Amino acid sequence: MRRAYFKNNWIAALVVAPQLIIIFVFFYWPASQAIYWSLTLEQPWGGGNTWVGLENFRTVLSDPVYWSSIRVSIIFALASTALAMGMAMILALFADRQLTGYRLYRVGMIWPYAIAAPAVGLAFRFVFNPNAGLFSFINTIAPETWNPTLNGTQALIMVIIAGAWKLVSYNFIFFLAALQSIPRSLTEAAAMDGAGVLRRMRDVQLPLLAPTFFFILVINITDSFTDSFGIVDTLTGGGPARATDLMVYKIYSDGFRGFDYSGAATQSVILMGLVIALTFIQFRYVERRVHYT
């Protein structure tokens, strides 16, 4: 393939400048600021800072509260990703069967992706409300069973379900597109070979979804680590007793409620490193297994 080169370098620079400026202003500059802050002790009310080296990291990483936040975040990421991908896959397999009314259904499935995270959180607050929500029927059968404002495990389950729900529609779009790009003749050939509907899904459709599956996995894991703030804030506020205090939420509450800018910056850097490491691992060890040609 021939590539077009710009003879004039400063025109090339001008063309890419807007993109570079945006990335710089919204990523590199704040990221480098966070790294700088994580190495200093910042005064809460302004007025200078002191260089402390890696002291902040030592403090954060020796704090058992922070380790419990990491644990909760990992549980949340794995569970909501698994739930979101599983649900989306099942729904997409059904939509791909093109049963009556699947067009309407497809559009309806995509809508939730347009809803902002805080709105999702608010909606689920009603759903999970122990007194009036859908889940209150549990309390009707067995009183005092469902109460996420007191029970940490229940609160985490609630946040996982809400987080997964938000991702389902996004995943669904990709899974459906991938399913529909599988040639019809392949499933027909499998039908001629004697495989029923479920067998065809297992032996032909799912293996061919592997590249999409991997892409969605990376996106979902990253998303559940970094983009779950709105749900936690509206649903639980990190509680009860820090049971849903995800890393990204803890950054916010330590930084803007506790005015511990340096601690929050340190946590941001750790979170960034964690996400980069996870993505690297996925590309290194998972991606090579998903190509079939």
Q: Select from 46, 53, 196, 198 the one that contacts other proteins (CB under 8 A).
A: 196
Our finding on whether 62 is near other proteins (CB under 8 A) is no
Our finding on whether 188 is near other proteins (CB under 8 A) is yes
CB of 183 to other proteins, least distance (A): 7
Q: Are 72 and 163 in contact (CB under 8 A)?
A: no
Our finding on whether 100 is near other proteins (CB under 8 A) is no
Euclidean distance between CA atoms 172 and 91, whole angstroms? 7
Q: Select from 19, 62, 140, 293 the one that contacts other proteins (CB under 8 A).
A: 293
DSSP state of 41: E
**φ and ψ at 115, to 5 degrees?**
-90, 135
- CA 43 centroid distance within chain: 32
Within residues 224-253, the interface with other proteins by CB under 8 A covers: none
CA distances, 212 to each of 176, 177, 207, 273 (Å): 10, 9, 10, 25
Q: Select from 183, 198, 284, 288 the one that contacts other proteins (CB under 8 A).
A: 183
Q: Select from 35, 110, 127, 195 the one that contacts other proteins (CB under 8 A).
A: 195
Q: Judged by CB under 8 A, which stretch of 3-11, 192-200, 255-263, 275-283 contacts other proteins?
A: 192-200
Q: Is the backbone of residue 42 left (phi > 0), alpha (psi -120 to 50) or beta?
A: beta
Q: Judged by CB under 8 A, which stretch of 75-83, 98-106, 200-208, 278-286 contacts other proteins?
A: 200-208
Within residues 134-153, the interface with other proteins by CB under 8 A covers: none
- In DSSP notation, 190-224 reads HHHTT--HHHHIIIIIHHHTHHHHHHHHHHHHHHH
Q: Residue 232, Cβ neighbours under 10 Å: how many?
A: 27
Our finding on whether 211 is near other proteins (CB under 8 A) is no
Q: Select from 204, 217, 264, 271 the one that contacts other proteins (CB under 8 A).
A: 204
Which spans of this chain sit near other proteins (rule: CB under 8 A)? 183, 185-186, 188-196, 199, 203-204, 207-208, 210, 292-293
